[in-house]
Each structure stands twice: as structure tokens, then as C-alpha cells.
């Protein structure tokens, strides 16, 4: 079952002579329970693609659906994002004056959830990624990998069924990077649709499907049958 | 010779017979280096000839148990203390194929790179699945990691080729 669907999506930044065609007619679907990785060099349009898929940005042409909803017809995109979409970015932007658990609770409290309930949900999601023991630490008491896992917990909290991760392994060492991927993988195995942007082959390889983006176009994916030379 | 030294290392943990050595060798290399039992016995008889192991009595099932000798232990230590040099490694078909594609001019190099990159990524996905399923401990996972790093290096090199050739055009 498809959860996100981009159909012939184009995005032009700016106008006239300085216009940048960041995406040129990209079609991509991510199913429930599927982990799809988008690979490409810097400037190929990966972040633009992810932002469009999560409703942070609107396409110049083409359509984006999340679930049954056409994002172009949605009045309150922010509410949909909060309820259904979790974002993980490279710069983690955890709030330094809040503990890990409080950071994870925050989006749910913004949704109007009672504090005690938000805390319960936060602890559950921290437990799910084996990070319960970090709950009461402040961001500057965490390693880079631990901070990133808390950021992922925050993106996961509250049954969000679409997870969008933009270079979530950043400058982490490969063992910590593997842990991040382990977490994303577990989440998709549990039924979330996950779209991961990375330029690192070793992390893309955790995906069910890898899509190669070049100059705003998909040039190849690993699911098309390919007759390789002997 | 990695098989030879691998068997010596396993024997340094205690006497074993050939079948046991084969099972342990495969388990610790994550079955990435399958050995047949004939290979194990040929290697053991060479090790015996060189005085690095010695055969003992047969067990109740008639299997000969081998023990490492002092010279064998020395040889193992020497192996671990010597770095591996890749100077004479076999030439890589992919490197030659790409070099030829560039030289031939009429071949669509970008297409060769795309096809290879997708195929290498599939291999990388398979290795990653195998690593996730790996249950036989750290040695097995590290062997798979080694292949993952190699596939990744190939992938990076292909990206690099693409970028360089794009500039040349
Ligand atoms: N807000 C923006 N305004 C103008 N150009 C942009 C903007 N966002 C991205 N771009 C351009 O669009 C192209 C794709 O960018 P991006 O999606 O960030 O690529 P990637 O994430 O693969 O590095 C780049 O050329 C970039 O400079
Ligand atoms: Mg980007």
C-alpha cells in the first residue's frame, strides 16, 4: 500500500535567468513498511525532494499525496505534518534547556496532549530504540550518536507513519551510523514509510529500494530488473 | 596463506580434528570462505610436514586429533605481527572495463557506470541484509563489514569516475 506518492514533480527555485531547476519531473512512491533511500551528489535535489514529500515545500508542478490526501488541496499542512510526518535533519536542533525526554515530548505537547501522557509516549518511543537511559540527560550530556537517536525518537513519537530523514548520519562514525540505520529500519519494519536521503552507499544499502538522483532526475533504481554483463 | 594460518590459530585454542576445524573456520568467517574437508586435510598434512602441528591418536570415531607445536605457535605469532601487503593482488576487471570504455570512445561510459553502480548497490543491499541476519558473533559481522566497505569503495569510485568524466566532456 502506497503511503507517499510524488507524481511528475518539478520544483524551480527562483525565476528567469537565475532559475534553478532543482527537480525535473520526479515520480516516486513509498509504501507502508518500506524504507527507500535516495542517493545523489550534493546539489542533485535530494533535500528538495524530501521537503516536498513532507509538505514543507510545494512543487512548481506535479502532485504529492500523503495517504489519500493531495497536499495541494490541504488547508492545514502544518497539522498534517505534526500528526503524520516525522523529520530528522542533519543538524539536530534539540533544545538545549530541555532533557532528552522533554525534547521528545515537545511535539506531542504542541499537539495539545497532556504532559503526563506526552511523557508516557516519549518514554515508550525512547524504550523502543533502547535509549530510555538517556531520558533525563540534557543534549550537551549526550554524544553525537545519542543526540541523533533522541532526535529520531522525537520524529517518531505519536504514531507518525511517515519518517523523512535528511543525511541523518551526518558526521557520525560508521558504527554509530549503523545504529541510526538500525533504528530507521526497525521503524519501517514496524509499518512506517521511511524516506532516507544519504550520499553514503553503506547507509543506502539498508533500504528496500535505492533511487539514484542526478541533476533533479531519477536516473536509476535498484528495483528495475537489470541484465548485467557476465 | 590465510587457510593455513587460520587453522593454526584455531588449533592454538586446543586440539581439534579436521571436521571441527572446518566448522569453526566457516563460523568465524561468516561462511564467506567455504572450505571443503579435503582442503582442511591437505593443509593439515602440510602443516605437519613443516612441524607446525602434530597428529595425535584417533578418537572413538577414528578421527585424528591435531595439536599445535611450539613452532606452530611461533608461526602464528609471526603471522599476526606482519601486515598484509596487497601489492600482488589480482587485477580488477571493472577497472579495466572502465578504462577500456573511456579509451574506446564509442562506448557509452556513463551507461557502463550506471549499470555497475546499480548492480554494486544491489550487492551492498544483500551484504547488509546478511549482516543484519548475522548471529554468529563479532567475527562474522566484521567479515561482512569488510565486504561492505569494499563494495562501498567501489561505489564511491564509480561516483568519482562519473564526476570526472562529466567535466572532461
Ligand atoms: N531555496 C532555494 N533557493 C534557490 N535555490 C535552491 C533552494 N534550495 C535548493 N536550491 C538549489 O536547488 C538545487 C538542489 O538543492 P538540494 O535539494 O538542496 O540538493 P541536495 O540536497 O541534493 O544537495 C541546488 O542547485 C540548490 O542550490
Ligand atoms: Mg541536502
pLDDT category, A225, cuts 50, 70, 90?
very low
B52 or B111: which leads in pLDDT? B52
Q: SS3 string of A111-176?
A: CCCCHHHHHHHHHHHHHHCCCHHHCCCCHHHCCHHHHHHHHHHHHHCCCCCEEEEECCCCCCCHHH
Indicate whether B138 pLDDT > 60. Answer: yes
Q: What is the pTM of this model?
A: 0.80
- Give me the pLDDT at residue A140, please: 94
- Give me the pLDDT at residue A23, please: 97
Q: Residues A4-63: pLDDT tens digits?
A: 999 999 999 998 889 999 999 999 999 999 999 999 988 999 999 999 999 999 999 999
In contact, A203 and A36? CB cutoff 8 Å: no
Is the predicted ipTM greater than 0.90, yes or no? no
Q: Residues B70-87: pLDDT tens digits?
A: 999 999 888 887 777 665
- Give me the pLDDT at residue A229, please: 36
Please tell me the distance from the alpha carbon of residue A40 to that of residue B60, in angstroms, as a whole number.
61
- Asked if residue A41 has its Cβ within 6 Å of ligand 1, the reply is no
Distances (CA, A) of B72 to B7, B24, B37, B42: 10, 19, 21, 16
- Give me the pLDDT at residue B137, please: 81
Q: Where are the domains of chain A?
A: 35-52+75-221
Place of cell 514509510: A193
Burial A78-92 (b: 16+ CB within 10 A, else e): eebbbebbbbbbbeb
What phi and psi, each to the nearest 5 degrees, are found at residue A198? Answer: -155, 155
In contact, A64 and A11? CB cutoff 8 Å: no
- Give me the pLDDT at residue A120, please: 94
Q: Whose CA is nearest to atom 11 of ligand 1?
A: A22
Which residue, among B91, B95, B153, B144, has the nearest Cα to B120 in the 3D structure? B153
Overall CATH class of domain A35-52+75-221: alpha beta
Please tell me the distance from the alpha carbon of residue A196 to that of residue A51, in angstroms, as a whole number.
12
Joined together, the cell numbers standing for residue A66 give: 500523503
- Tell me the average pLDDT across A115-123: 94
Q: What is the nearest CA distance from A205 to chain B, expressed in angstroms?
A: 4
> Which distant-in-sequence residues (6+ apart) come within 8 Å of B139 by Cβ?
B27, B28, B29, B30
- Tell me the average pLDDT across B123-144: 88
Q: Looking at the partner chain, which of A41, A200, A222 has a beta carbon nearest the beta carbon of B122?
A: A222
In contact, B37 and B22? CB cutoff 8 Å: yes
In contact, A185 and A35? CB cutoff 8 Å: yes
- Asked if residue A169 has its Cβ within 6 Å of ligand 1, the reply is no
Place of cell 525526554: A101
Q: Looking at the partner chain, which of B114, B124, B163 has a beta carbon nearest the beta carbon of A201?
A: B124
Place of cell 508516557: A120
Joined together, the cell numbers standing for residue B20 give: 571441527
The SS3 call for residue A217 is: strand
Mean pLDDT of chain A: 89
- Asked if residue A43 has its Cβ within 6 Å of ligand 1, the reply is yes
Mean pLDDT of chain B: 86
pLDDT category, A92, cuts 50, 70, 90?
low
- β-strand partners of A31: A2
Place of cell 539514484: A212
Between CA B146 and CA B154, with CA B150 as vertex, the angle to 5 degrees is 170
Please tell me the distance from the alpha carbon of residue A79 to that of residue A17, in angstroms, as a whole number.
36
Q: What is the nearest CA distance from A228 to chain B, expressed in angstroms?
A: 7
CA B86 to chain centre: 13
Indicate whether A224 pLDDT > 60. Answer: no
B36 or B88: which leads in pLDDT? B36
A185 or B168: which leads in pLDDT? A185
In contact, A108 and A155? CB cutoff 8 Å: no
- Give me the pLDDT at residue B86, please: 62
Please tell me the distance from the alpha carbon of residue A183 to that of residue A160, in angstroms, as a whole number.
15
Please tell me the distance from the alpha carbon of residue A225 to that of residue A214, in angstroms, as a whole number.
20
Indicate whether A133 pLDDT > 80. Answer: yes
Cβ neighbours of B117 in A, within 8 Å? 212, 220
In contact, A135 and A123? CB cutoff 8 Å: yes
Please tell me the distance from the alpha carbon of residue A97 to that of residue A107, in angstroms, as a whole number.
16
- Asked if residue A191 has its Cβ within 6 Å of ligand 1, the reply is no
- Tell me the average pLDDT across B128-156: 89
Please tell me the distance from the alpha carbon of residue A29 to that of residue B167, in angstroms, as a whole number.
32
Indicate whether A128 pLDDT > 90. Answer: no
In the reported structure, the alpha carbon of residue B31 is separated from the centroid of ligand 2 by a whole-number distance in angstroms of: 39
- Tell me the average pLDDT across B143-162: 91
- Give me the pLDDT at residue A228, please: 39
pLDDT category, B91, cuts 50, 70, 90?
low
Contact state of A228 with B115 under an 8 Å Cβ cutoff: yes
Amino acid at each position: 500500500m502506497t503511503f507517499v506518492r510524488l507524481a511528475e514533480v518539478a520544483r524551480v527555485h527562483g525565476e528567469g535567468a537565475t532559475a534553478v531547476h532543482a527537480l525535473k519531473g520526479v515520480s516516486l512512491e513509498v509504501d507502508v513498511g518500506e524504507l527507500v533511500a535516495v542517493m545523489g551528489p550534493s546539489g542533485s535535489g535530494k533535500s528538495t525532494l524530501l521537503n516536498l514529500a513532507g509538505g514543507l515545500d510545494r512543487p512548481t508542478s506535479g502532485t504529492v499525496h500523503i495517504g489519500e490526501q493531495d497536499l495541494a488541496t490541504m488547508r492545514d499542512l502544518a497539522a498534517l505534518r505534526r500528526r503524520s510526518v516525522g523529520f530528522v535533519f542533519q543538524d539536530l536542533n534539540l533544545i538545549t534547556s530541555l532533557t532528552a525526554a522533554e525534547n521528545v515530548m515537545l511535539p506531542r505537547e504542541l499537539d495539545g496532549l497532556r504532559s503526563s501522557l506526552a511523557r508516557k509516549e516519549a518514554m515508550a518511543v525512547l524504550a523502543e530504540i533502547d535509549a530510555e537511559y538517556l531520558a533525563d540527560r540534557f543534549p550537551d550530556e549526550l554524544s553525537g550518536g545519542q543526540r541523533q537517536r533522541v532526535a529520531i525518537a522525537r520524529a517518531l513519537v505519536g504514531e507518525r507513519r511517515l519518517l523523512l530523514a535528511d543525511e541523518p548520519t551526518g558526521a557520525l562514525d560508521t558504527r554509530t551510523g549503523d545504529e541510526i540505520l538500525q533504528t530507521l529500519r526497525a521503524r519501517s519494519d514496524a509499518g512506517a514509510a521511511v524516506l532516507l536521503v544519504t550520499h553514503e552507499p553503506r547507509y543506502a544499502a539498508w533500504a528496500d529500494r535505492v533511487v539514484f538522483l542526478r541533476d533533479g532526475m531519477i536516473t536509476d533504481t535498484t528495483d528495475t530488473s537489470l541484465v548485467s554483463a557476465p | 596463506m590465510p587457510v593455513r594460518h587460520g587453522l593454526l590459530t584455531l588449533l592454538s585454542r586446543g586440539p581439534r580434528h579436521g571436521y571441527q576445524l572446518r566448522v569453526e573456520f566457516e563460523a568465524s568467517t561468516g561462511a564467506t570462505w567455504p572450505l571443503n574437508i579435503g582442503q582442511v586435510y591437505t593443509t593439515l598434512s602440510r602443516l605437519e610436514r613443516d612441524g607446525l602441528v602434530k597428529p595425535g591418536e584417533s578418537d572413538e570415531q577414528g578421527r585424528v586429533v591435531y595439536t599445535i607445536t611450539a613452532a606452530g605457535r611461533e608461526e602464528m605469532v609471526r603471522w599476526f605481527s606482519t601486515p598484509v601487503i596487497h601489492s600482488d593482488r589480482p587485477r580488477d576487471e571493472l577497472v579495466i572495463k572502465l578504462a577500456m570504455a573511456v579509451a574506446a570512445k564509442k562506448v557509452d561510459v556513463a551507461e557502463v557506470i550506471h549499470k555497475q553502480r546499480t548492480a554494486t548497490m544491489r550487492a551492498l543491499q544483500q551484504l547488509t541484509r546478511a549482516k543484519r541476519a548475522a548471529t554468529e558473533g563479532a567475527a562474522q559481522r566484521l567479515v561482512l563489514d569488510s565486504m561492505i566497505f569494499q563494495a562501498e569503495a567501489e561505489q564511491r569510485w564509480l561516483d568519482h569516475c562519473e564526476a570526472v568524466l562529466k567535466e572532461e566532456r
